[in-house]
Amino acid sequence: MATKRSGVLTFEQRLARLEQIASELDAENVDLAKALSLFEEGIEHLRSAAAELATAEATVQRLVERADGTFGVTDAD
């Protein structure tokens, strides 16, 4: 889990990871070095999530079923 880097996570996953980091920090048996590395990871998640929040927009698409039974989406606007 700690190896999960922040590149591919969704906003929700980031928040979940942040929650987890905070819980780990709350645990009594975490040494300071580990605590600091957890904190740094947390800050990274916060930064990425905030960046994502700043750019993303709602999109409206339409589900399209292809002849071979696979699915795709097309822009509906």
Binding site for other proteins (CB under 8 A): 10-12, 15, 18-19, 21-23, 25-26, 28, 30, 32, 35-36, 39, 42-43, 46, 49-50, 52-53, 56-63, 65, 69, 71, 73, 76
* Of residues 3 and 23, the one with the C-beta less far from other proteins: 23
Of 3 and 31, CB closest to other proteins: 31
Q: Which is nearer to other proteins, 3 or 29 (CB)?
A: 29
Buried-exposed string 11-31: b where 16+ CB fall within 10 A, e elsewhere? eeebeebbeebeebeeeeeee
- Output the CA torsion sign for 33, 14, 19, 24: negative
Whole-Å CA distances, 40 to 23, 37, 69: 15, 5, 45
Residue 19 C-beta: closest distance to other proteins, Å = 7
